Chain A
Amino acid sequence: MTCLPQPVPGAKKLGLVIDLDTCVGCQACATNCKEWNASGHSAPLPDLRPYSAGAEGVWFNRVHSYEAGEGAAGRTVHFPRSCLHCENAACVTVCPTGASYKRAEDGIVLVDHDTCIGCGLCAWACPYGAREMDEDAGVMKKCTLCVDRIYNETIPEAQRQPACVLACPTKARHFGDLGDPESAVGQLVRERGGQPLMPELGYQPVNSYLPPRNRSSLAATPEEAAPTEIKNPLLRWMDRVLSR
């Protein structure tokens, strides 16, 4: 059913918190996402022309890089983009078949690949570009929040986390219940001032992005020793000779 579940206060909202301060743009999350999901819930994640020019394929996570600000105050920011498991997910309500749905129990947005007709309307309705068509099977694919890992009792408990979260070498990705303000991710968002993407569209994303910390005040100024301060007699003599 493509109506959204009734919002219940205190309901579980599983999602990701992405730290734009520590993400180094290494693409590990994107690669591990592709690796896991190529054989998981939404398998396969096909590639078109994988071994020739113009190779492309379905990925659930894409890592962009941006420059923000100017000069010394400017920053290079790496920016992973995947499904935000929005509360007001129009990608779900536009679906004519019921293939696109949002789970009432944890808020994960999924696609049933057995009923999807591949109309592509949900991809139009997603402002964030989180849905990509599997053009081999003619069905829509998207981030599953690794639903086949996080509840998977056949893997060690410590690994019941999304593949992207486990792969990140700088721990820039966190997974948890954003519906609970006291959960680890809830506290992180509160302390670091986590932000939603494009809030003006009203999709109410569950995923949150932690802003880069202000570094300009910490920037070291280059040292330039004045000649009188040169303690080494040999260097002092060289400085005198060279300054002539």
Chain B
Amino acid sequence: MNPAGSIVFFTTASGAGYGLLFWLGLLRPLGLVPGQGLVALALALLLITAGLLSSTLHLGNPQRAWRAVSQWRSSWLSREGVAAILTYIPALLLGLALWVDAPALALAAGLLAAAGAVATVYCTAMIYASLKPIRQWHHPLVVPGYLALSAFSGAVLLAMLAAFAGGGAVPALLAILTGAGALLLKRAYWQAIDTAPPIATIESATTLGFIGKTRPLEPPHTEQNYLLREMGFRIARKHAAKLRLIAQGAGFALPVLLALLALLLGGMPAALALSLGAVLALGGLLIERWLMFAEATHTVMLYYRG
């Protein structure tokens, strides 16, 4: 599948934003995050909004985007839109509560915002996980993967901000745990999609299996088309292997190590270590999200390539 830049950016940025909102909503009312928390909230909303706006760039008719919230009864994309919009309400209320220092409101709004963040990321993941023609997406580890990546990138960002505000071991600890968890999950996912059998074959796609092995002879057209551009994107195996290594190292292992280091160091060095960790994590995640598309294959290519 073609890794459209706007969508890769959207899942990375919004994923991190919702992760940050989730942890802030849960931890700030409990007093586990130092400082007021308004900076973290602003960063979360900035990432979420930038991501959502970027995702509309991918549309053929962005001015009609409002129509996309109408079909929540059947469409995960529509549900994602509804969840994303609804989540703004408790998120902004949380901001208000933190601003005027109203702990009861902060607790309620924080919990609701956290729930909204989970719901939105879950809907995003289901858009992909519900697509049967793409076996790498229609996989039970895709939804846990989206949730884990979002939780991890959000935790790293919160740990960084908390370190700048002077302490707060809990977010750094969470970054370590979610990072290790996300890495394990991702490795299990890669292992699974590498060994899974195809969901369909050129024989079942053409009904010709009863004659024998089938192979394409003449293509239906000699130039490109939308299908080949959108669904025919292929990445060389050796590049995929390298990119997976980079994503694992830069995206997960190094940020986790840096968070460990930050726990030991404390103070300004911790803040710097976690800043580097956050940059690496987001960069690694961009690669990982890009791979998520580049490695996915669509059944329509059976007709073109066999």
Contacts and interface: CB of A to CB of B under 8 A. Distances in A.
A96 B60 CA distance: 14
Contact of A115 (B60, B67, B130, B227): B67
B213 interface: yes
A57 B225 CA distance: 7
A133 B213 contact: no
A65 B207 CA distance: 13
Contacts of B61: 116-118, 138-139
A63 B230 CA distance: 19
Given A1-B71, A117-B68, A133-B226, A199 B211 contact: no
A93 B211 contact: no
B227 A201 contact: no
A56 to B, nearest CB: 5
Interface stretch (B73-81, B109-117, B174-182, B183-191): B73-81
A179 B226 CA distance: 32
Interface stretch (A124-132, A146-154, A157-165): A124-132
Given A69-B212, A121-B77, A124-B298, A200 B199 contact: yes
Interface stretch (B8-16, B94-102, B131-139): B131-139
Contacts of B130: 90, 94
Contacts of A94: 74-77, 127, 130-131
A65 B206 CA distance: 10
B148 to A, nearest CB: 23
A103 B127 CA distance: 24
A70 B206 contact: no
A135 interface: yes
Given A96-B77, A129-B231, A70 B200 contact: no
B64 A97 contact: yes
Interface stretch (A76-84, A169-177, A226-234): A76-84
Nearest to B4: A120
Given A81-B303, A119-B59, A129-B300, A2 B77 contact: no
B200 A127 contact: yes
A63 B217 CA distance: 11
Given A124-B298, A198-B200, A96 B70 contact: yes
Interface in A52-70: 54-59, 62-70
Contacts of A92: 74
Contacts of A64: 206, 216, 218-220, 303-304
Closest 10 CB pairs of A and B: A118-B60, A138-B60, A69-B212, A129-B300, A62-B220, A65-B218, A96-B78, A68-B211, A127-B133, A96-B68
Given A25-B218, A65-B217, 17 more contacts: A30-B220, A54-B223, A66-B202, A68-B203, A68-B212, A75-B211, A94-B130, A95-B74, A96-B75, A97-B78, A119-B68, A124-B231, A129-B298, A133-B226, A197-B204, A198-B200, A212-B208
